[in-house]
Structure 1
Amino acid sequence: MPLSSLAKLIGLAAIWGGSFLFMRIAAPVLGPVLLIQLRVALAAVFLLGLAFLSKKKLDLKSDWRHFLILGLFNTAIPFLLFAWAAKSLPASLMSVLNATTPIWGAVLGAIWLRNRLSVKTIAGLSLGITGVAVLVGLDGGHLSPTALLGVGAGLIAAACYAIAALYSKVAKSVDAFSNAHGSMWAATLMVAPATPFFPAASAANIWVVICVLMLGILCSGIAYVLYFKLIDEIGAAPATTVTFLVPVFGVLWGSLILHEHVGWISVIGGLLIITGTALITGFSPSVLMKRRVATAE
């Protein structure tokens, strides 16, 4: 992998890991609905500007249903669920729960697409489920009932991401930038009707405003651009290795900035989930090395 691509990969993981930090700060103040409405609207406007500069138009006449499905399962529902979970869960735990997406993908793929589960996939599922059980059953002993519901919300959000990914495999072919752009506008329209009924819990300070801007422009707008560039440079499979780095940064930012305590049980549960995800996706460091050699040649 070229150093420039590796830098983009690490940068993307740092940005997406930071999204849980920003939600943890802003969600208790603004509430999940208003926060996500601002996030998706800012991202949609940002991507609209990029589309204007690059002269990329959305084909709404034929793709609007497709954008609505993606906007629902890849943006609106999971964003709202994680924002709700952020009112009670630490950023580090949310980032680990997010890493269960490939695990959900394997389970739902076996049910929906009738994908055959290999021995490695079954082993990965077992490790992932064990990791979640460790986090909730052992490390969750100090969590309130509301926080345990937040864990459930985070797991459902990850399942929604998996549904969106599986849908993309069987849906009509639409370029990645249009998928992001169209789905952000779809999510904006979906969340907007509920926003007046869920006002902010308290007045926002400058830090909350910064978090909202970061979530909308950096974590949703710029991050998508980085991700698309990575796919073009190194391919879709190597680009998905960002899944394993996001929890690292989620835990790092939560610990450094919010002073969240990360115990050994949390570390063990997180490692079990990430290892299970690696088995399911077939990730191996040798894959990246082969890609780097091929690029150099």
Structure 2
Amino acid sequence: MAGDSGMAGALASGPLARDWRTPAELLLLGAIWGGSFLFMRVAAQPFGAFALVEVRLALGALILLPFLWRERAAFSPGLWPKLALIGAINSAIPFLLFAWAAQRSPAAVGAICNAMTVLFAALVAFVFFGEKIGMRRAVALLVGFLGVVVLATSKAGGLSVGPAVAAGATAALLYGVGVNLVRRHLGGIPPAAAAAATLSCAALLLAPFAVAHWPSGPIPAAAWGSAIAIGLLCTGYAFLLYYRLIQRIGAARAATVTYLVPLFGAAFAWMFLGEPVTPMMVIAGGLILGSVAVSQRAARA
């Protein structure tokens, strides 16, 4: 989610267990992914979208490369074009869109849009793969899209955030597409290895653009620190934490972290950047998160 929910949402469920670690790790993961929107807000302007996302992809892949090496026998030569495509759809392009949005709107806007991933994944599965959606989930989708409209028509600091909302919603849509592609084409591959492969492909695809758009001036230390945190903590480590949760409590329960990301994203931006949370953001976030809750409940039923 953070924008890193695309790959995570596609994983299979594991055995159920209840202990103190589960709520603690869900809170930690929500804070990490919510913090990614704060870090993007700090780093996006000095780096620019292409350079920031390249740093993020490269560092995230670096954390996960040992898993790719361990499972390298599972990656046939013919699989790599699919990995490159999924890497572009599920990582490179949505990361760019969120970074672009972070240059133009408060961090809470991107965090709220990210929650739409669950709804878009259901919509893509219905439209392109023939999965049943049901009346309750259909209504939930409509309510969620209404929340996006409310958010897009709002203002922050007197300026419209509509373009940033459009970018964030498009990123969530691509995550939804990526979820379905991963389920259907990478289901037999250990998820950490698959994530390492797709992030590596995405980093290689984006590298020429990052070089061409690398900032000409000095980059502040705070921006470098934020970029490194996004890559190592919010991408690489967060994936590992999410996989561990899925193995312990199952994908459906682990996906409840979706509700925490906008809350942490907005809270961190308010605390550390002084960005206000407007009434329209609260209304839009309520509509979107409420629709996600109904959609997940209907899916489990």
Q: Is the partner of 1:240 in helix, strand or coil?
A: helix
CA shift for structure 1 position 141:
9.5
Superposed CA offset, 1:34-84 (max 9, x none): 0111111111122224656xx443625243123212211111010011011
Q: Is the partner of 1:278 in helix, strand or coil?
A: helix
Q: Which runs of 5+ in 1 are unaligned?
A: 288-297
Q: Equivalents in 2 of 1:109, 1:51: separation in Å?
A: 28
Residue from 259, 277, 283 that aligns with 2:274: 259
- Give identity over the alignment, percent: 34
Residue from 39, 46, 53 that aligns with 1:22: 39
Q: State how 1:218-229 maps to structure 2 within 5 Å.
A: 218-229=233-244
TM-score (norm. length: structure 1): 0.89
TM-score (norm. length: structure 2): 0.88
Is 1:176 paired with 2:191?
yes
Superposed CA offset, 1:159-213 (max 9, x none): 0100011112222421111111101111111100112221216421111111011
Alignment partner, residue 120 of structure 2: 104
CA RMSD of aligned residues (A): 2.0
Does the CA contact (< 8 Å) of 1:31 and 1:201 recur in 2? no
Q: Which runs of 5+ in 2 are unaligned?
A: 1-17
Alignment partner, residue 45 of structure 1: 62
Output the amino acid matched with 1:219.
C
Q: Equivalents in 2 of 1:104, 1:140: separation in Å?
A: 26
Alignment partner, residue 123 of structure 1: 139
Output the amino acid matched with 1:164.
G
Does the CA contact (< 8 Å) of 2:26 and 2:254 recur in 1? yes
The total of aligned residue pairs comes to 281
CA shift for structure 1 position 222:
0.5
Alignment partner, residue 157 of structure 1: 171
Alignment partner, residue 7 of structure 1: 24
Q: Equivalents in 1 of 2:68, 2:150: separation in Å?
A: 44
Which stretch shifts more, 61-70 or 24-33?
Answer: 61-70
Is 1:196 paired with 2:211?
yes
Alignment partner, residue 295 of structure 1: none
Does the CA contact (< 8 Å) of 1:67 and 1:186 recur in 2? yes
Residue from 68, 72, 79 that aligns with 1:57: 72
Alignment partner, residue 185 of structure 1: 200
Q: Equivalents in 2 of 1:199, 1:159: separation in Å?
A: 27
